[in-house]
Amino acid sequence: MFYNDVERRKWQNPEAILTNIGVKPGITFVDVGCGTGFFTIPAAQMIGDSGKVFAMDINADFITRLQERANIEHINNLSVSVGRAEDLVLCDQCADIVFFGIVLHDFQDTAKVLENAKKMVKAGGILVNLDWKKKPMDFGPPLKIRFDEQTATGLIKSAGFNIESIEDSGPYHYIITARP
């Protein structure tokens, strides 16, 4: 489901979320299912030229829009890829943070996506899954496709990660942090 950034910022603050998960200058950040860059652009700005941001999405139009935004904002630390997260490994054990921003429930093969994430995250890095709470609300994806916290943690553990924390992230989302 696609929301414009102005509308989305009413219920989600990307800079605050990114700060809370440890985005800082010089790190390597992978945004899986990045869309048009709601988290990607702020992450790239926060990380600066001493770091690197990899972003992927299956939607080529979203990637084109993301690259256009990055060009306008003179962001030079961004590498974008079009493709299925089930098929792409953007780097080998390079990521300080592999991030899923309200998308984990959208993949056809979540286990394969998480397996690929494990290949990208450094030994000391983290996987972060920010996703919709599984409760009725007026917007967001259909309730039936959302993962509750237990389902998401089970999938993440099955991929070889250890859960570090599960927290609320505002009224509509939860955030899971895990290490390989």
User: Which two tokens mark 34?
Assistant: 């990045």
Single-letter residue type at 28? T
**Which residue do the tokens 């553990």 mark?**
157
What is the pTM for the complete model shown? 0.94
Between CA 15 and CA 39 the distance in angstroms is 8
pLDDT digits (tens, 9 = 90+) for 120-153: 999 999 999 999 999 999 888 999 999 999 999 9
Give the separation between CA 98 and CA 70, rounded to whole angstroms: 20
Amino acid (1-letter code) at residue 60: A
| pLDDT tens-place string over residues 68-125 | 999 999 999 999 999 999 999 999 999 999 999 999 999 999 999 999 999 999 999 9
Distance CA 78, CA 30 (A): 10
Q: Residue 1: which pLDDT band, with cuts at 50, 70 and 90?
A: very low
All domains in the chain, ordered by first residue = 15-179 (3.40.50.150)
Q: Which of 2-16, 36-50, 123-137 has the lowest average pLDDT?
A: 2-16
Cα gap 11→141, rounded to integer Å = 15
Mean pLDDT value of segment 33-41? 96
The token pair at 108 is: 């056809």
Instruction: In whole angstroms, give the CA distance from residue 148 to residue 174.
Output: 9
**Binning pLDDT at 50, 70 and 90, where does residue 155 land?**
very high
Q: What is the DSSP string of 128-153?
A: EEEEE-SS--SSSS-GGGPPPHHHHH
Average pLDDT over residues 155-164: 98
CA gyration radius, the chain? 15
Angle between helices 60-72 and 40-47 (to 10 degrees): 40
pLDDT value at 174 more than 60: yes
